[in-house]
Amino acid sequence: MDIEEINVEEKIGPVGEILKEEDGKLSVLIHFLQIIQSEEGYLPGDSLAKLSKRLGFPLSEIYGVASFYKQFNFKPRGKKVVRVCMGTACYVRGAENVLSGLKEEFDIKEGETTEDLRITLETVGCVGCCGLAPVATVNDAVFGEIVSKKVDKLIKSIKE
């Protein structure tokens, strides 16, 4: 039997109609969260409150969904998001030194954003470029084989 042929109302009665309505709203929730973050750069509380009223969901449920996914942020982020890979290959080949150099140069801690919103510094479990370890990314650009000389090149790229 094809999934579209299943009549939910027949199978579970009036609850089926409620589920259909709620599922429709839930299916667009993540899309709306993505739009808000794309426009605002993060998910501001006032925008989430408006979304809560619009969809008829409790604000706590919206926060629950948004906090489940790592892609959503509740604080403003930097124009440049710098991610240092801390996977095994990168860690063994000196990722800690890369991270320390970035922290020192920009006077920022892991997980923080500079006050001027220029840079957000994060660590990730794996970038998927183990052969280039240690690796860091600046937005979509990948920097590999970062030895002490290349840390300066990475820092220069971040400052541009």
Read off the pTM. 0.71
Using one digit for the tens of pLDDT, what is the confidence trace for 32-50? 899 999 888 899 999 999 9
Total domains in the chain come to: 2
Query: Percent of the chain at pLDDT above 90?
Result: 59
Q: Which of 24, 64, 69, 68 is nearest to 48 (CA)?
A: 64
Question: CB-based contacts of 154: which residues, under 8 Å, 6+ apart?
Answer: 98, 102, 136, 138, 143, 146
Q: What is the CA radius of gyration of the chain?
A: 21
Q: Does pLDDT of 18 surpass 60?
A: no
Instruction: Return the CATH number at 130.
Output: 3.40.30.10
Structure tokens at 15: 């609850």
Residue 74 in domain: no
Same domain, yes or no: 87 and 124 = yes
Which domain range does residue 37 map to?
Answer: 3-68
Residue 75 in domain: no
Q: Is the Cβ–Cβ distance between 54 and 48 less than 8 Å?
A: no
Residue 33 in domain: yes
Beta bridge partners of residue 137, listed in sequence order: 83, 142
